[in-house]
Homo-oligomer: A and B are copies of this chain.
């Protein structure tokens, strides 16, 4: 509807593309760092997409129904910054500050640092996975808002990037779900950093994407060809991938060669490119007619799009959901929660809470990597999200952990409150995506069950040893490890208040419950569960399923007339340094069913596990690793030299 596509326009567009190429060369030269290969090669793609298709409202770049664009090939950042400059969202000075500290133009796109940068990208594949999440969100929100949300999601990737497993996972999921309005554009230059693409990949890409249910299109590196492909893609009901035959480092002496990928160009090459493209010789100049044409075109199309949408919005009677979205509401209170213990395991109770939350607000949506029945994360009153049921709220991610994390990020970026679950040991598979949740401070909820060696018979591959400590190292990620229902409710209350990601760690079987635990203890991060009866005492610190064991040990030590205080630390990141110092004035011994490093920031005396586990029953394994009341008691006595 908003496309302009007559021949005259293509002329100024081709001139525009030449200008873009000139600017990226100047930027990289000026910064003396960057990736000329993709910036020169993919210029026509980004120019055409934004000039002729993207529906964005320049007065409010956060406009809810804007088309989304993700630069998954994040090293193409300078190119995107030039496009933002043409839309007057960045200034020429911003372009000159490329890669400088605290500029709006960092080396790779960074979420919240630059207008219209939908997410941070750089690690290959993450943008693809998150764009799938954005498309899932659009398809879901389209349904539950009666069509009010109906934007496209575009993502640009490199051909080498398609080698990444996470792209395969995410794109296969998108194909399975028949996501609509989802368009992948591949900068198909057939060259990777190290060599030609066919040295590392000899795939029939058309066939590969047809096999996962995509409309596969091809385009040449002209505005007209790309424009036509985009029109066809937008008219399709299938997810679509467009392979644009580009030339890496277009115009450079090194064009078509891998060595043009990531280093600034030589001075004579820069002159050469400027001359070849018929550009001004002065760096950082641009044809004013190009700038105005681009800006006005995007501006006007966007205004029309925005106003039309406002009219549609005004006509809608039940504005409940859309207004929540507009306000960015993505949480709900747990105050009126009523969960029955009923001798259930912690993961079952977690499922009950999750179901309660889902009934309270429509943006809680998520799923599992084929373990919803084990992780107890099925939303029982809702269908499976599929091409037939776009309002389904159970996403069957398949055994695609890495993609799940990236998809959840995209969903959070679209205003949903997504959760994803698998076994704790498989959190390793999704670490790169979790890192992106944390880097962008997205309120994604990770639910990891089957904690520790108490998983039992499945053996060492299924027993997390270093995962709890490893997740705890990630900045911004709050890791919760509750012991019982009280601490679980506290965890969920805190999680729902978080604006950053959370990881909830739950054991497989534990059904213990204590009258000593506190909901509020989670908010403080650490708290005294059992106080000492004597003035002279030691602290035993722990969390999660070990707490029951440690309370038993404490009881025994008391009988030996040893003063003991037991402290639970359900959330390390919530601990305030002053509180920590106050609580740990006395000698402190940590107990954890994993690498001791997890508690080293509290004490250097930690009883943990420093080797991989083995297959056996939970009881056999606890005994083997010395996590019985008797063994722990004697280890503590040994430490105390008693």
Contact = CB atoms under 8 A, between A and B. Distances in A.
A426 B123 contact: yes
A226 interface: no
Interface stretch (A37-45, A314-322, A465-473, A479-487): A465-473
A449 to B, nearest CB: 14
B402 A473 contact: no
Contact of A176 (B161, B200, B208): B200
Interface in A571-621: 595-597, 600-601, 604, 610-612, 614-617, 620-621
B199 A124 contact: no
A100 interface: yes
Nearest to A600: B600
B199 A384 contact: yes
A165 to B, nearest CB: 2
A193 B610 contact: no
A597 B210 CA distance: 47
A109 to B, nearest CB: 9
A82 interface: no
Contacts of A175: 202-203
A621 B99 CA distance: 12
Contact of A459 (B110, B172, B374): B110
Interface stretch (A269-277, A428-436, A514-522, A538-546): A428-436
B612 A601 contact: no
Nearest to A161: B399
A11 interface: no
A166 to B, nearest CB: 5
Contacts of A610: 475
Given A101-B615, A166-B165, A399 B208 contact: no
A128 B374 CA distance: 24
A565 B624 CA distance: 41
B398 A160 contact: yes
A153 interface: no
A633 interface: no
Nearest to A100: B616
Contact of A123 (B461, B469, B600, B621): B461
Interface in A206-222: 206-208, 210-213
A372 interface: yes
A515 B358 CA distance: 64
A283 interface: no
Nearest to A196: B396
Contacts of A374: 193
Contacts of A473: 466, 469-470, 595, 597
Nearest to A259: B373
Contacts of A101: 614-617, 620-621, 624
B475 A465 contact: yes
B108 A396 contact: no
A123 B425 contact: yes
Nearest to A396: B200
A339 interface: no
Nearest to A617: B101
Contacts of A237: none
Nearest to A603: B604
Interface string A2-44: 0000000000000000000000000000010110000000000
A194 interface: yes
Nearest to A436: B461
Interface in A395-417: 396-403
Interface in A375-406: 384, 386, 396-403
Contact of A370 (B192, B429, B616, B624): B192
A638 interface: no
A106 to B, nearest CB: 3
A59 interface: no
Given A466-B473, A473-B469, A611-B475, A203 B211 contact: yes
Interface string A79-109: 0000000000000000000011111001110
A137 interface: no
Given A176-B202, A461-B108, A398 B597 contact: no
B612 A438 contact: yes
Contact of A476 (B122, B192, B476, B612): B612
Given A108-B461, A461-B120, A428 B432 contact: yes
Given A99-B615, A611-B475, A165 B168 contact: yes
Which of A101, A431, A610 has its CB near the most chain B CB atoms (within 10 A)? A101
Given A396-B199, A425-B123, A368 B194 contact: yes
Contacts of A67: none
Contacts of A193: 370-371, 373-374
A117 B604 CA distance: 39
A616 B204 CA distance: 40
A61 interface: no
A131 interface: no
A450 interface: no
A285 interface: no
B102 A614 contact: yes
Interface in A148-177: 160-161, 163-169, 172-173, 175-176
Contacts of A624: 101
A461 B200 contact: no
Contacts of A426: 123, 432
14 contacts: A101-B614, A101-B620, A108-B462, A161-B399, A172-B203, A200-B396, A206-B211, A207-B207, A428-B431, A436-B461, A439-B460, A466-B473, A476-B612, A597-B597
Give the 10 A-B CB pairs with smallest separation, nearest first. A165-B165, A101-B616, A122-B461, A106-B615, A200-B398, A207-B211, A600-B600, A208-B211, A466-B473, A168-B168
Given A106-B614, A192-B370, 13 more contacts: A34-B457, A100-B620, A110-B615, A124-B399, A165-B402, A168-B169, A175-B203, A206-B211, A439-B612, A465-B475, A466-B475, A470-B470, A597-B601
